[in-house]
Amino acid sequence: MSKRILIAIVTLPLLFLLVLGGTRYAADSLAQSLAPPLPPPGRGERGIPILMYHKVNPDPRAGGLGLRVPPQKFARHMEYLADHGFHTVSLTDVVDHFQKGKPLPIRPVVITFDDGYLDNYTYAFPILKKYGFTATIFVVAHTVGKTNTFDAGRQPVNKMAGWRELKEMADYGITIGAHTLDHPRLTRIPLEEARRQIKESKALLEAGLGRPVEVFSYPYGRYNRELALAVRESGYRAAVTTEQGLACLGDDPFTLKRIRVMGSYDLQKFITELVKHYYPPHS
Ligand SMILES: [Zn+2]
């Protein structure tokens, strides 16, 4: 073998890796340089982002990218938040801040997951732990340890987290919230049945976890004044919707807005969605 061929064999893969790495780095810095600037590092004065995720799963058979964020992308989101000085807080921290002036850390953010998929434990939980982040998982109480029967036919079959996984995550500091018993559209069922879904999911989760359940998420984001009141009267301290925006001082704690994160977003789009709702400082 000639020396020239030998050199080519050794250097070509190295060159390839270098170009690949460089392109990725360039794409990242481009994404960040094109993104709107971050707000000054306040403590929630300009609103608090509550991110909304569902599935975190690499398997396309688990569902489309509307509800499913691949773990690699989720990891990039968390890395971005950590690198830019964000600190995760719970929804009750946010409400305590609004109601009692409890101080929040610099750049507070709330990370939430709806429905209670097993993949939250398998894929998202290790990434959250890596950054010391907390989150809130809203669980459909009747599907714990089962499958997503609530959207059977419209979504592929997904495994839901069981009591063991939920307890382990709660022990670490993940908040478990309620997302009704069966995931109905609460505005389309009789109010009495809606009240039962809100109240009994809290009791069932509290019994299973051995800890209080204080936060709620409306399935499909459907709510009205009566339902918000029912959530409050059932003993919850806060509830989230799917309306887009930040949680701001003066908001009703039972109709908090969130920021949807989809699997189709690249890092640039994630950053844009994260920062676009912050309002300017008062002059
Ligand atoms: Zn849901």
Provide block-wise average pLDDT over 10 residues at a time, the chain (283 residues). 57 52 53 57 92 98 97 97 96 97 96 98 98 98 98 96 98 98 98 98 98 98 98 98 96 98 96 89 60
Question: What is the per-residue pLDDT for 5?
Answer: 57
Question: What's the CA-to-centroid distance between 260 and ligand 1, angstroms?
Answer: 12
Question: What's the CA-to-centroid distance between 183 and ligand 1, angstroms?
Answer: 6
Question: What's the CA-to-centroid distance between 220 and ligand 1, angstroms?
Answer: 6
Question: What is the per-residue pLDDT for 205?
Answer: 98
Question: What's the CA-to-centroid distance between 140 and ligand 1, angstroms?
Answer: 8
Question: What's the CA-to-centroid distance between 189 and ligand 1, angstroms?
Answer: 16
Question: What's the CA-to-centroid distance between 216 and ligand 1, angstroms?
Answer: 11
Question: What is the per-residue pLDDT for 16?
Answer: 52
Question: What's the CA-to-centroid distance between 113 and ligand 1, angstroms?
Answer: 9
Question: What is the per-residue pLDDT for 28?
Answer: 53
Question: What is the per-residue pLDDT for 230?
Answer: 98
Question: What is the per-residue pLDDT for 279?
Answer: 81
For residue 110 the two structure tokens come to 């709330």
Question: What is the per-residue pLDDT for 41?
Answer: 78
Question: What's the CA-to-centroid distance between 101 and ligand 1, angstroms?
Answer: 31
Question: What's the CA-to-centroid distance between 67 and ligand 1, angstroms?
Answer: 10
Question: What's the CA-to-centroid distance between 219 and ligand 1, angstroms?
Answer: 5
Question: What's the CA-to-centroid distance between 142 and ligand 1, angstroms?
Answer: 13
Question: What's the CA-to-centroid distance between 115 and ligand 1, angstroms?
Answer: 5
Question: What is the per-residue pLDDT for 169?
Answer: 98
Question: What's the CA-to-centroid distance between 184 and ligand 1, angstroms?
Answer: 9
Question: What's the CA-to-centroid distance between 64 and ligand 1, angstroms?
Answer: 15
Q: How far is 161 from 122, CA to CA, in rounded Å?
A: 9
Question: What's the CA-to-centroid distance between 16 and ligand 1, angstroms?
Answer: 44
Question: What's the CA-to-centroid distance between 145 and ligand 1, angstroms?
Answer: 16
Query: Nearest-CA neighbor of 202 among 168, 171, 241, 230?
Result: 230
pTM for the complete prediction?
A: 0.87
Question: What's the CA-to-centroid distance between 28 and ligand 1, angstroms?
Answer: 32
Question: What's the CA-to-centroid distance between 258 and ligand 1, angstroms?
Answer: 13
